[in-house]
Structures are given as C-alpha cells and as structure tokens.
Amino acid sequence: METTAKENIAVEKINEDIAEEIIASKEMVIAEQEFTSSRRKVFAKYSIALTLIALAVLLTYLFLSAEQLAALQDMLHKDNYLFYWMLLAGFCAEMVAGSMGMGYGVICTTILLILNVPPPIISASIHSAESFTTAAGSISHWQLGNVNKKLVKALAVPAIIGAIIGAIALTYAGEYYAKLTKPVIAAYAMYLGFRILQNAYRNKNGNGNGIKKKTNIPVLALAGGFIDSFGGGGWGPLVTGTFIKNGRTPKYVIGSSTMAKFILTVASAVTFLFTVGIQHWNIVAGLLIGGIITAPFSAMLTSRLPVRKMFIAVGIVVIIMGLITIYRSLFL
C-alpha cells in the first residue's frame, strides 16, 4: 500500500512537471507570435510611411521648375557632395545607435570633424536630424515592447536640463573647451566598454539576470544630456553603457534610453535654433533621411539579439568609438 501511494505521488509529480513544461512552451509560443505580429505591424507602418514620403518627393520633383531643380542640385552637390556622405553616415549611424543604444552622435561628429565643420554647427545639425530619427526609433522600440516607462520618466527631466546647459555652453565656449572635454569623455566611454565586456563574459548564461547595481539616475541623465549637446554625442556610451555595465537588461535599457534621447535631442535642437540657428541644411537633410530609413530595422535587431551577444557588441562599439574620438582630439 505504501509503495503504491509513493508511486502515485511520483506519477502526479511527473504529470505536474509535464503540465508546467507544456504551459511554459505555450507561453513561449504566444510571446513569439506576439513579437512577430508587432514586428510585422511596425514594418508595415514604416513601409507605408516611406512610400508616402517617396511619392511626395517624386511629386515635388515633377512640379519643380528648371531653375528650382538647378538650385536643388546645387544644394545637394554643395561642399563636395556632403549631402550624400551624410546620407551614408546617417544610415550607418542609426543602424548602430538604434540597435545598440549608442554611437550616432559619436560617428556623425567624427565624420563632420574630418570635414572641418565647426563644433557648434556639428552639434546643432546632428541634434536637428536626431529629433526625427530618435522619434522614429522610439516609436519602433515602443511597439516592440522595449521601453520601460518609469526609466524614461526618471531620465527625461535631468536630461533636458543637461542638454540645454550643454548647448548654451558649446555656443559660447566654442571649440577650445570642446577639444579638452572630448578625450575625457572618450576615456570614460572606453572604460565602460571594457566593463560591459567583463559583464558579458562573467554572465555565462547570457540572460541578463545578474546582480544589479544602483545607479544615480538624475545625475547620470544630467551629465549625459550635457555631454551629448556639448560634445555632439555621448549619451549612449555614458547613460546606456552605465546601465548595461550595472547589470540591467540591454533590450529595455536601449529602448528606454532611445526614447529619453529623443526628448533631450528636441530640447538641444530648439536651444541651438535660438543660439546659432540651423546652418548646413545639406548635413541635416542627409542625416535625417538616412536615419529615418534605418530606424525601424535597427529596433527590430534589438529585439532579436541574444543578451550576451548584445553586451559584447555594445562593448566593442563603445571601445572603438572611444579610440576614434581620442585619436581625433589629440592627433588631428
């Protein structure tokens, strides 16, 4: 009798385990189906939007007079075809920034510095374009479930304050202080990159569930907003990199950071509009078009990448960007 009772208990336990596995499998299938559905909806919406934009451009082109077309071509060919270089830069930079949560400002700033564009105009142009590209990326991350609303709210206000102070400081301090600041920012970014790689290899399971360290969010967001406006970039390596280094899940950090970056970017762009105006429209247009085309695909990439691989990729991107910035600041 006792043996039979024990056997019954064992069978019930096995059945319970099987039932739990079936439920877990069903939940995974449902989650995968929901993600696929969200991804298709995002892709469909952006496909429609891009089609409408293409039609608008085509109609505008058809209705322009010969003189207006000549003026448009002159603008596109201005400064040694800078528009087309910015189109490529915007595409590549948004692919990195949208999927990794960092790199847009650093990549674009590096390219524009090589082309000898003044730092205030660089930052103003980048933030004008980013107002639209980060909006597109934020929408994609939101619809794919990559955004933590509480984190966005905590980051937004101090980031706006920092962005406004940074834009005003860059406008009036000029290139001299920016050059002194960039190597320091780059060195810290490289430190973050190495720490991120450490986290990736320490977390053998790659599930992002390690011990989370506390982060002073207001101070971090204030510093990130200031650095981003003053240096033309740096929000991602500083803010996103710090959160990931402290053990937070990259998917939600990147999505939330992108949405907060959109808010600070608008604040920075408006501040630059009143201080230096918007110059070099070919730069803004190229970065804008290239970034908007890329935004939905980079957000989808974030949702698909395994956590550990994302740690490794983000760490490598941060280190490379830091090296480029240090080299540019000290030797060129």
> Does 125 share its domain with 154?
yes
- Indicate whether 4 pLDDT > 60: yes
> Does 90 share its domain with 182?
yes
Q: How far apart, in whole angstroms, are the C-alpha atoms of residue 28 and residue 6?
A: 33
> Does 208 share its domain with 111?
yes
- Indicate whether 37 pLDDT > 70: no
Number of folded domains in the chain? 2
- Indicate whether 30 pLDDT > 50: no
> Does 8 share its domain with 128?
no
- Indicate whether 131 pLDDT > 80: yes
> Does 240 share its domain with 266?
yes
pLDDT of residue 221: 94
- E strands along 70-227, which residues? none
Least confident of 73-77, 175-179, 257-261: 175-179
> Does 13 share its domain with 157?
no
- pLDDT 10s digits, 41-63: 555 655 666 676 677 767 777 77
> Does 209 share its domain with 299?
yes
- pLDDT 10s digits, 66-96: 787 777 777 777 777 888 888 888 888 877 7
Structural domain includes residue 75: no
> Does 137 share its domain with 57?
no
Give me the mean pLDDT over the 207-229 stretch: 79
> Does 173 share its domain with 260?
yes
> What are 89's two structure tokens?
């830069």
- Indicate whether 162 pLDDT > 90: yes
Q: How far apart, in whole angstroms, are the C-alpha atoms of residue 169 and residue 250?
A: 32
- Indicate whether 268 pLDDT > 80: yes
Q: What mean pLDDT, rounded, does the chain reach?
A: 75
Structural domain harbouring 13? 1-63
Give me the mean pLDDT over the 271-298 stretch: 80
Which whole-number Å values give the CA distances from 169 to 18, 35, 45, 53, 158, in the listed order?
63, 43, 39, 36, 16
- Asked whether 258 and 141 are in contact (CB, 8 A), the reply is yes
Long-range contacts of 203-209 (CB under 8 A, 24+ apart): 203/307, 203/308, 203/311, 205/308, 206/306, 206/307, 206/308, 206/309, 206/311, 207/307, 208/247, 208/248, 208/249, 208/250, 208/251, 208/307
Give me the mean pLDDT over the 227-242 stretch: 83
> Does 167 share its domain with 278?
yes
Q: 282 or 101, which is more confident?
A: 282
Q: How far apart, in whole angstroms, are the C-alpha atoms of residue 206 and residue 200?
A: 7
Structural domain includes residue 69: no
- Residue 186: closest CA among 319, 322, 318, 317: 322
Structural domain includes residue 23: yes
CA 25-31-36 angle, to 5 degrees, is 125
- Indicate whether 161 pLDDT > 90: yes
Structural domain includes residue 138: yes
